Each structure stands twice: as structure tokens, then as C-alpha cells.
Amino acid sequence: MLKKVLLLGVTILASGHMAFAQQKPLTTNTGAPVGNNQSSKTAGENGPVLLEDVHLIEKLASFDRERIPERVVHARGAGAYGEFESYGDFTQYTQASLFNTKGKKTPLFVRFSTVVHEQGSPETLRDPRGFAVKFYTDQGNYDLVGNNLPVFFIRDAIKFPDMVHSFKPSPIYNKQDQNRVFDFLSHQPEATNMLTYLYTNLGTPANYRQMDGFGVHAFKWINAQGEVTYVKYKWTSLQGVRSLAAAEASAVQGKDHSHATTDLYEQIGKGNFPAWELSVQMIKPEDLDKFDFNPLDPTKIWPESIAPSMKIGKMTLNRVPGNFFEEVEQAAFSPGTLVPGIEPSEDKLLQGRVFSYFDTQRYRLGSNFQRIAVNAPKVEVNSNNQNGAYSDRGKNSNINYEPSVTKQGTYTDNKQYEYSTSKIDAETMQRVISKQNNFAQAGDLYRSLSEADKKHLISNLAGDLGQVSNKEIVNKMVSYFYQADADYGNRLIKALKLNKAEVTGLTAKN
């Protein structure tokens, strides 16, 4: 019997001859066979093309609509499938079923991304990296949407559109402009911590496998008794963390501007399945006011001395998507995609994201985006939501509301999974949080760096600040870094060749 290998529809026989797989008939989108896919129907050999050529019109119209709006942020990305294995039973903290049994496995999909830059941009650019995980749990989908850095630039969602506008290309010149970036950031002293992380070499990961991930925000875990625990998530790469210095990033970009995607897919293809351990830090509600910062502030980390990490499971990626557009580009994540036992905290940035992410996916993909295969849960969906573009719910019932005296074919809620309750006795207001403490953690981070990492940080940061023509903006930014650590600020002053006497606010907080 001849041995054969099937590759791209071609069977290679042991004799060396090729046997092609039988071709399938070409059809229109409605399944009708196509008679001629080479020539348009015309009025005579040299006459005009006829509008009645249905195949031509459908083919062009479909082509015209191949592109959907790209994500406003996180446009450039790569994805992979895998599974999560729980390390234990954590029902004392949360009703979330993916954490309720030791050894329990939950399928998942991950999308890694850059944040600011557009589709097709180099993956070497300095930028936070998105780290979004969709768990297909037996209670419905759960999205853990985070970044590769543990904090963020701002603490209130009302600033988010302005921040992204300043980071994106100039509306006049259509290129990113550090004058615009730092003009905005010079008014956000809370960004000092994030900027210190970003301008270390962590801002240019070597690939997607060798970087950690963070949920950034605090979330609430709720157990069956309604007891609340605040948690922060971290994914720790079992491949280790590897970053690129600026010169290395330039060299890599010259060879492959999709180096991180290439690396991820090649390693999975070789069977070198990347893995991360998931850990949580915990704080009880009664302890939230015990620290010199607000634990719900996303510009802050929770030091291990305050909230030790506990490992709760491991994620392994083992399969590459079969179709990039359908599975990676159409993958839709939201921090509001939650399961019983997990709720948003009162973090003002997170509260805004819970709305904004769902809203942007409805705009990009349509009102039924959760029905797309990569986004669809693995459990039955019983909802009275209906219609909209591409609706395929297939519900056959005259009752599309609740409650109803009719029992057959209708749905009811489950009081076991009601939202948690909390007491609120406060006046409405619009003001910044009281415990801002904008610079202390940035100083702690700077002092924790090796001398080589400090040099890279100063070089990277001075490189971008040096492009800012407005000296008032530069001086203000340098004053923030000086307030984090005097040595940090002094090195920047030297690197930027500033007159220290002209830099206001030089009061170190360390």
C-alpha cells in the first residue's frame, strides 16, 4: 500500500507523483453553482457589463465589505487557544465554577496585542501589550482583560478618550507626536508609575510568550454566602520574562515586523506550548482604607507585603486559530463579561470600561457579536434578547419576555446568583480620590532596577522627551520623575541637558 501525506489539498504519493484532492464546486453565497468565474456578463463582446450579473455584483459587494472597523485600541494582535487548569477549590472566596475543583480544566482563547498602534504596525514598538483571556466556563464566558504591565496611566474613564487621542497619530500629520503625548501626560501626575514601567525594557517585550500579564484592576470575588474579597490577578510566564533593549528592538523590526506573532505560532506549531500560572492577591473590604494609597486605584500595585500572591491555576496554549479574521480579528473581549462570583470593583476606570468595551464590540461586529463562534459560550444561552443583524438564536416561542404565567419554553432567574450588596451613604460628586500618592510607587520601582536597567530607562525616556519642543511640558514631566526619586530626576535632567534651576517642583518624595 502506498504511503501518502496530505498537504494543502495535495496528496504526495510514495512514488513521488501528486494526486490532487477532488475540487468542490464554486457557489454564490446562497449556495447556487457558479457557471463562469473568469468573465463578466456583457452586452456583446465589447459592450457594457450588465447589472444582472448577480455573481459579479455579489463578489464585488462582498469584497468591498471585507474590512470591519479596526479596534480603536489593541488593533494589532495575535491569538491562540488553550486550557486553564485550577490548582484547587476556591469556593470559600468565589462562586466562579472554573475555580471550584482541583484539576478542573476550562477551554479558553487568548489574544495578545499592542495598544496604541494600528493593524500592520511593527510589534517591536514601545507600548503596553494587551493580555486578554476568554474562559469558556460551564457558567458562561468569563473575560479577564489586562495588560503586560501591572498599572495604568489614568484612574478615571472620563480621561480615556483624551488619553488615546493624544497617543494616536496627529489629526493633521497622521503620525504619532511626542509633543501631543507628553502635553497630555504632563497634566496626569498619576501616570508617573506607568511611565516608569513602560520606559524600562518591559515596554518592548521580546515576544508574547515571555511576558507576564496583569488584570490591572481590582475585582470582587463573591462566595455563596455573599462575602466579598477584593482581588488582583497576575499571569506569570513559565517561559520567563525577556525584553528587548532599544537597539535590539530596531534590529528585530528590520528582520520581521511581526516577530511576536511569528514566534507564538512557530512555538505552538513545534509543540512548545507556552504556559502561565495565574495568581491572585486578596484584600478584605474592611482593610481598603488601611494603606497610604487607594487599593482601587489602577495606577498602583498591591505590594506583596500587603497582599501576598496565591497561585490558583495554570494556562497552557496549544492550538493556533484556523482563520485569523474569524477567530482573532472578530474575538471580542470585555471586563464586563463576568460569571457568578466575580464582579467589578468600584475602580472608576474599570466602571467605565465595563460599558465601553461592550459598546465598541457592538459597533465593530454588530449587536449579535456574542454569537460569533470565537465569542460564543459553550453552554446554552437562554435570553429574551432578540433580532438585530445576523440573529440566529432560533427561539420558537410566543413568550419573549419575563415573567410569564407560561412555564413551558420560558426562562426564569436564579436568586442564588444575585449581585452582591453594599451599603452606600454618600453625596454625589465629581472629584479626584483623596489618597493619590502619585509618585511613591514609581520611586520604589526605580530603586528596584539594576544599574543597567536604570540606564536603559533614562535613555528610552529621554529619547522621547527629547522630541518635545515645549520646554514647559518637558520640565513638568521631569519634575514628576524627580518627585518619585531625586536620582531618577537628576539623571533625566542631565540626559536632556536641562537647566535644573528652571525645572519647577523638584521636591523628591523618597
Give Cα 173 to chain centroid, integer Å.
28
What torsion, rounded to 10 degrees, do the Cα atoms 310, 444, 159, 135 define? -20
Order of all β-strands in the sheet with 18-20: 4-7, 10-13, 18-20
Question: What gap in Å lies between CA 302 and CA 150, rounded to an integer?
Answer: 9
Question: What gap in Å lies between CA 416 and CA 224, rounded to an integer?
Answer: 8
357 is in an annotated binding site: yes
**Collapsing DSSP states into helix, strand and coil, what is residue 48?**
coil
Are the C-beta atoms of residues 313 and 84 closer than 8 Å to each other?
A: yes
74, 117, 259, 456: which is the annotated catalytic residue? Answer: 74
Contacts of 38 (CB under 8 A, 6+ apart): none
Q: How many residues does the chain have?
A: 510
State the residue for C-alpha cell 472620563: 158
55, 141, 147, 438: which is the annotated catalytic residue? Answer: 147
- CB environment 227-241: b (16+ within 10 A), e (fewer): ebbbbbbbbbbebee
Are the C-beta atoms of residues 83 and 316 closer than 8 Å to each other?
A: yes
Are the C-beta atoms of residues 26 and 33 closer than 8 Å to each other?
A: yes
Give Cα 389 to chain centroid, integer Å.
26
* Cis preceding linkage at 274, omega within 30: no
Task: Compute how many other C-beta atoms are within 10 angstroms of the C-beta atom of residue 80.
Answer: 24
For residue 288, give the C-alpha cell: 481598603
State the residue for C-alpha cell 514566534: 263
Q: Look up 147 and say whether it is catalytic.
A: yes
Question: What gap in Å lies between CA 194 and CA 151, rounded to an integer?
Answer: 6
- CB environment 184-201: b (16+ within 10 A), e (fewer): bbbebbbbbbbbbbbbbb
**Collapsing DSSP states into helix, strand and coil, what is residue 497?**
coil
Residues in the annotated binding site: 357
Q: Which residues are catalytic?
A: 74, 147
Residues in the annotated binding site for heme: 357
